[in-house]
Amino acid sequence: MSRKLESIYDLQWDARTIIEANAGTGKTYTIVGLFLRLLLEKDLKVDEILVVTFTNKAASELRERILESLRKTKLLLNNEIETDDAFLSELLEKTGDREKAVKTISQAILNFDDSLISTIHGFCQKVLKEEALLAGSSFDAEISREDNQLEEATEDFWREFVAENSDSEIGQYKLETLYSFKRKAGYTPVHPESLKIFLNDLFKKPYAEIEGEVMEDVDGYLSEVISLREKMKASWEENRDFVREEFLNNDLSRFSQYAEGRILKMDNFLDSPLHGNEVIDQLKYFKWSYVDDDSNLTSKGTKKPGFCEFFGLIDKYSELISDIDKVKTTILFESYQRINKRRIQLKLDTETYSYDDLLIKLRDALTVRSNADSLARKLRKRYSVALVDEFQDTDPIQYEIFDKIYPATSVCTSLLMIGDPKQAIYTFRGADVYAYLKAKDDLQGEVYTLQDNYRSSEGLIDGVNALFGFSDDPFLDEQIGYNRSGVGLDHLKQQYLINGESVPGIHFTVYEPFQTSKDDLRKYSVNQSVREICEMLEHKSIQIFDEDSKDMRRVKPGDIAILVSKNRDAEMIKRELKKVGLSAVTYS
């Protein structure tokens, strides 16, 4: 169940609350308003309210906004200024004892340096340092941006694994498998650093699982595969001429004309090393189960290839090699386990935490240590209310921390989470959309929504509503809905006019023919963009709304932004703009 949050004062202080917010709907504005409410309604001090966001820049901006709002509220309560801000006007109406309110706000400003408005990592670091005894953390632990222990552990594992597997054909296959992981990470030549990058998600997300099945005896399996291939090679040398003759003279459908090519493919297959040549597409045509199958005959055909040992071996090999992916999964899992074990030992010896370690350390302190309940109670008492901004950026570890500190059944604490689940599907900053959905499932109250957009024009808002309104489940998961945005400010209703008429906020240019080269399409896109920009700047009939004068005016070059996916596209557009006398600046 969800309802639109018409006013910040509509929100009830439940044990858990979620506010879902579309882009431009005032998430920060709402958090600032809630912070003021907590001071005035709950008589909380600034150091009793925990405010968490997910980047240092966002935390800094939030601190400035809250402090600025405190100062403005004080002036307003003292009748030194007037306001047209809807929330502050309502705050003024609901404040009975102005003198007490001014004293509360003044104290909050005076003690604002004591407030905890930080990133989730900053919060974890503070707790682990101040509550080292309860959390089981080191008093003198150092924080490192880089996980140096992971790098050392990976290099140690690398040396050991190479030494263990250098002297046998089985070992060579295992090494090649390990190298293939690193090649997928985009690194050549192969190196421990690229293995670390390939496994990085497993270290950053301990809750992640490796896909596929693990094999108990990799060496035994590979030994069987290699032995069978040797038998296949010997049998092929003995039976090659027979197989070729049988392939050329049979009634199997669309078979004889490809016989010579398939024979050569089998030559190459059996002469190649195992890794990278575990199977070939043509393998099925050499299976006895295929060549002896009547359903593969032509409509009037009767003749099938005669049996030889090689066909039977291919059947056996095809069945055996179907498990080869388990070898890759097993080596991947073994690599992760051995590196992680070594990494943990190194961290115990050095007492150095990476940013990810901070999260895991506090999560474990709140869940598995003997003092877990005591630590959670102490944090609840210290920060009775937590406001979590950009909550869609949480992952399961971060959510577990909040979940343990602020129980869903609590009557004396509140956890308020505000975010946009639609953004979580992109996994920015390690976001996990299912952590968000779990928080939503755990919620016992209702979900509030912020829907009015105070940033964009009516045309653009209508265009976005149309795009995401095409389906009941535009994000494929029914738990991630789309609430249509409304226009928050009247002056945003007419942002872009042609001949005095509003135009759609989004339009598409369709390039025909559809089948063309990427270079032709890129060239067309650049030329079309330059043409449209020139038209906007030259025609008096095209006007936009000016924020300063609150009136319509002609378009200026500085009003225009061009978004591209690659740097070379940006340079290409800049060159074409220069040809028509327009300069452009590139921002990353």
To which H or E segment does residue 143 belong? strand 142-144
Instruction: For residues 43-47, give the mean pLDDT.
Output: 96
- Euclidean distance between CA atoms 471 and 478, whole angstroms: 11
Mean pLDDT of the chain: 90
Summary count for the chain: helices (H), strands (E): 23, 15
Average pLDDT over residues 236-240: 96
Q: Could you tell me if 577 and 584 are in contact, meaning their C-beta atoms sit under 8 angstroms apart?
A: yes
CATH 3.10.580.10 fits 2-133+354-450, yes or no: no
Dihedral, 173, 177, 179, 183 alpha carbons, nearest 10: 140
| Least confident interval from 55-69, 162-176, 274-288, 485-499 | 485-499
Q: Give just the sign of the alpha carbon dihedral 161, 166, 168, 170.
A: positive
CA proximity to 3, closest of 418, 399, 305, 449: 449
Average pLDDT over residues 365-386: 95
How high is the pLDDT of residue 459? 86
Write phi, then psi, for 54 (nearest 5 degrees).
-120, 5
Using DSSP's 3-state secondary structure scheme, residue 250 falls into coil
Confidence grade of residue 488 (pLDDT, cut at 50, 70, 90): confident
> What percent helix, strand, coil does the chain show, rounded to 5?
55, 10, 35
Tell me the C-alpha distance between 355 and 579, whole Å: 48
Q: How far apart are CA 225 and CA 279, in angstroms?
A: 12
Residue among 70, 21, 13, 14 nearest 452 (CA): 21
Q: Is the pTM of this model over 0.85?
A: no
d(CA 534, CA 579): 12
Q: 238 versus 433: which is more confidently predicted?
A: 238
Model pLDDT, residue 388: 95
Q: How high is the pLDDT of residue 507?
A: 86
- Residue of higher predicted confidence among 341 and 490: 341
Q: What pLDDT is stored for residue 514 in this prediction?
A: 66
Which residues, at least 6 apart from 77, have a Cβ–Cβ distance to it below 8 Å?
92, 95, 98, 101, 102, 105
367: Cα separation from own chain's centroid: 25
Res. 202 pLDDT band, cuts 50 70 90: confident
Highest mean pLDDT among 9-23, 172-186, 465-479: 9-23
Q: What is the pLDDT of residue 186?
A: 52
358 pLDDT tier (thresholds 50, 70, 90): very high
Higher-confidence residue of 485 and 512: namely 485
Structure tokens of 262?
């398939």
Tell me the pLDDT band of 426, cut-offs 50, 70 and 90: confident
CA-wise closest residue to 146 among 338, 353, 456, 380: 353
18 sits in which H/E element: strand 16-21
Q: Can you give the pLDDT at residue 90?
A: 94
Question: Dihedral angle at the C-alpha atoms of 472, 475, 480, 482, nearest 10 degrees?
Answer: -60
Q: What is the mean pLDDT of residues 357-369?
A: 93
Predicted pLDDT of residue 182: 67
Q: Which pairs from 549-554 meet CB under 8 Å and 24+ separation? A: 550/491, 552/494, 552/497
Of 238, 285, 242, 290, nearest to 261 (Cα)? Answer: 285
Q: Is the pLDDT higher at 78 or at 351?
A: 78
The 10 Å Cβ neighbour count of residue 457 is 21
- Measured CA to CA, the distance from residue 260 to residue 249 in angstroms comes to 12
Res 483 pLDDT > 70: yes
Mean pLDDT over residues 549-559, rounded? 88
Per-residue confidence at 544, pLDDT binned at 50, 70, 90?
A: confident
Digit-coded pLDDT (tens) for 121-147:
999 999 999 999 999 888 878 888 888
**DSSP letter string, 469-525:** TSSS-TTSSTTS--PPPEE--GGGS-SEEETTEE--S------SSSS--HHHHHHHH
pLDDT tens track for 297-328: 998 999 999 999 999 999 999 999 999 999 99
Range of weakest confidence among 9-13, 96-100, 491-495, 561-565 = 491-495
Give residue 189's pLDDT band: very low, low, confident or very high (50, 70, 90).
low
Confidence of residue 491 (pLDDT cuts 50, 70, 90): low
Query: Hey, what amino acid is at 422?
Result: K
